[in-house]
Amino acid sequence: MARYDISLIRGDGIGPEQTATAKKILETINDNSQTKFDIHEVESGDSALAKFGKALPESALDIIKKSQACLKGPVGETAADVIIVLRRMFDLYANVRPAKSYPNIPNISSNVDLVTVRENTEDVYLGWEFNTDENTVVALRVTSEHASRRIAEYAFKIAMMRNNKLRVVAVHKSNVLRKGDGLFSAVCRSVAKNYPKIQYSELYVDAASMNLIRNPEEFDVIVTTNLFGDILSDEAAQVVGGLGMGPAANIGDQFALFEPVHGAAFDIAGKNAANPSSILLSAKMMLEWLSDKYDDKNLMVEARRIEDSIVSMLRQDKKTKDIGGKLSTTEFAALVAKEMY
């Protein structure tokens, strides 16, 4: 029997409602399979700042460090103080954001199955902005050979694992950012040579954002830099029906953290109206990652079960309000849990 320690960051806004549904699904697996999760709830974000004076208190960090993976609800105003710190601390260099068409959800195309692999450690996210005088600011955009190579390697590895269209497209703007994106694209090209089975191409970010609307089904794996990845993955989420269906993973060599693509959505917080699919599909990605890391095939079965149950509900047109249904957060999650076994 395999046991896994999972840290669960409740977050803010719709975070606590969403993480409660994820906890329910993991407990359903506990009750019905050989796999057991010990779930350790963690307070961080705006609520932790108000209570402890720190968005990411030491006590929270201790729990996260001891866990094998972390599932995180969206955080509000203090999002950067939580996620950017955790990404740096655990060197979570790959941000992986799938966008997939699901049944009965209004979308631009019903045949999309792509994943954005976004470099997660550099670019403008280092926050190096300086005033050169009172009215002018310079922001540094950092690109290194090391970070470009490991994100490119990761993207090709994912394309092989997906065994889908076997395509990787590197998205950049090397006609303007000649040095930085010139380096990024040259590294992607050199990594591509080691993967003869993969069809490799490149697109400028403007063309990529247009093609994501025009023919999104053409894409398989998109590898790109940090800021472009942030924007393109939100666009891709919208192409398949909105943020409520969007999971994400932050992957490092030793640790990984899983979270919805969206933010804390304060406008619907506390109303039992959030779509829990984004966090449930993040939990599914967590099980897949643990399965790969600990060579536990049963976890892959449980991961599939989560997604299949969501798809089954959608096929029956049982869905939350954001995607045209009537169900509340808890009603939808309860149906998914019931459908699993």
Residues serving a catalytic function are: 125, 173, 206, 230, 234
Q: How far is the CB of 138 from ligand ATP (least distance, A)?
A: 24
Q: CB of residue 309 vs ligand ATP: minimum separation in angstroms? A: 17
Residue 12 to residue 79: CA distance in whole angstroms? 9
Q: Binding ligand ATP by CB under 6 A: which of 108, 211, 263, 301? A: 263
Query: Taking CB under 6 A as the rule, does residue 58 contact ligand ATP?
Result: no
Strands 199-204 and 167-172: parallel
Q: Interacting stretch for ligand ATP, rule CB under 6 A, among 22-30, 37-45, 259-267, 304-312?
A: 259-267
Residue range at the interface with ligand ATP (CB under 6 A); choices 26-34, 56-64, 65-73, 271-279: 271-279
Binding span for ligand ATP by CB under 6 A among 86-94, 201-209, 264-272, 302-310: 264-272
Query: Rounded distance, CA 57 to CA 43, Å?
Result: 8
For ligand ATP, which is the closer residue by CB, 7 or 275?
275
In the chain, which ranges are E strands?
3-9, 36-42, 69-72, 94-100, 113-119, 129-133, 136-139, 167-172, 199-204, 221-224, 247-251, 256-260
Phi and psi torsions of 215, nearest 5°: -145, 70
Distances (CA, A) of 209 to 118, 161, 201: 15, 25, 15
Residue 28 Cβ, how far from ligand ATP at the closest point, in Å? 20
Q: 112: closest CA among 103, 127, 96, 100?
A: 100
Indicate whether 250 belongs to the interface with ligand ATP (CB under 6 A).
no
Candidate segments 191-199, 219-227, 265-273, 298-306, binder of ligand ATP by CB under 6 A: 265-273
Number of residues written out for the chain: 341
- Applying CB under 6 A, does 267 fall inside the site for ligand ATP? yes
- 55 contributes a contact to ligand ATP by CB under 6 A: no
**Binding flags for ligand ATP, 106-145, as an x/- string (CB under 6 A):** ----------------------------------------
* Among residues 68, 120, 226, 278, the one that binds ligand ATP under rule CB under 6 A: 278
Whose CA is closest to 43, among 53, 56, 30? 56
Asked if 265 is part of the footprint of ligand ATP (rule: CB under 6 A), the reply reads: yes
Task: Output the smallest distance, CB 246 to ligand ATP, in A.
Answer: 8
Site for ligand ATP contains 301 (CB under 6 A): no
For residue 82, CA distances in Å to 12, 152, 245, 319 come to 12, 26, 22, 31
For residue 26, give every residue at least 6 positions away whose Cβ sits within 8 Å of its Cβ, in sequence order, or none: 6, 37, 39, 283
302: tokens are: 């449980």
Q: Which residues bind ligand ATP (CB under 6 A)?
A: 14, 79, 243-244, 262-265, 267-268, 274-275, 278, 322
